[in-house]
Amino acid sequence: MELLYLKTFCALVQWGNYTRTALELDYAQSSITNHIQRLEQLYGGQRLLQRSGNQVVPTEAGQRLLPYARQLLELQHQAREAVMAQYPEAPVLVIGTIESLSLYYLPELLEAFRHQYPAYKVKIVLGQEAELIEQVRQGKLDLALIFDQPCSSAGIECMLLFEAPMMIIMHSQHPLAGSASVSAAALVEQPLILTEDGCTYRAGLLETMRQSALAADIRWELSSIEAIKQAVSRQWGIGFLPLFTIKEEDRSQGITAIPWIEQGRRWYGQLVYSGQLSAGAQAFMQLEQLYAHSAAPAFRHIVQQNTETVHQ
């Protein structure tokens, strides 16, 4: 991930402004800003760029970093050329995942992978966790990203990425909207808007209610996270979603997120794989490990920050 940020840094020095750099790198301008901020965090909070008239130029710290950054990028280029020369056709990386992670976690990783390994074709397969794990076991998927308790399945390895709590979401005018937290008992006789059967966190909710002999009134079953949030905003019922799927703009649609008090399970985004990893899978995992040390803490901070602000 650091190499991606260094590439953005060098391009910004070359072109002298964010607009041209975003155009040349095929990024949104906000991504350029984000990359520079994260790079500065990685280098002890040193400011690396500054304005000089209409141009962006390196600071003293940025000038010291620049030659090393260019050397690292050149070495990366040479390494990629050496490795990719063995492929007569473009290699393919096949990743399985669930909808929530495909929407809210995977895009930045794919953006980084696309820029560092442009020769690869990437195929994303959406499915439920059980079928994704089986496809990994059968070698039909190189990797899978899931959200559940730590995976324990024969022939499957697991790398934990981040932890996120579950939330009860409802319209801000709902009688429970002012609660500090919501228990299973509070959901009795409440119309529930849930994901489809087979979703792991839906199963966790229903199992918790079953163990307490509480009836669940499942009024709507929707396959789309955004459809669930839209239904909640229309006051059709109460939803149950991971915190990382709740965004600030959802609050403008009248959605309130309340912590689920029955956190008996700990839920993790995780990467699962099996057997001999392909070159593409190894590259993606290395990128994910870099992400875990740079962007993932920021992702976890967003999750924590949302927890603190959902009741404001």
Domain ranges of the chain: 1-84, 92-156+267-309, 166-259
**228 contacts: CB under 8 Å, gap ≥ 6:** 169, 193, 194, 195, 220, 222, 239, 241
User: Does residue 146 register a pLDDT over 90?
Assistant: yes
Q: In terms of pTM, does the model score above 0.95?
A: no
The CA radius of gyration of the chain, in Å to the nearest whole number, is 22
CATH topology of domain 1-84: Arc Repressor Mutant, subunit A (1.10.10)
92-156+267-309 against 166-259: fold identical: yes
Confidence at residue 161, expressed as pLDDT on a 0 to 100 scale: 86
pLDDT at residue 309 tops 50: no
CA distance 47 to 59: 7
Q: Tell me which DSSP letter residue 9 carries.
A: H
Residue range 68-91, pLDDT digits in tens: 999 998 998 888 777 766 655 678
CA distance 287 to 271: 12
Q: Is 3.40.190.10 the CATH number for 92-156+267-309?
A: yes
- Which tens digit of pLDDT belongs to each residue from 168-216? 999 999 999 999 999 999 999 999 999 988 888 999 999 999 998 999 9
Per DSSP bridges, beta strands 92-97 and 143-148 are parallel
- For the domain spanning 166-259, the CATH number is 3.40.190.10
Q: Which of 152, 160, 302, 189 is nearest to 242 (CA)?
A: 302
Q: Is the pLDDT of residue 101 over 60?
A: yes
Q: Hey, what amino acid is at 80? A: R
Q: What is the pLDDT of residues 26-52, one digit of tens each?
A: 888 888 998 999 899 888 888 999 988
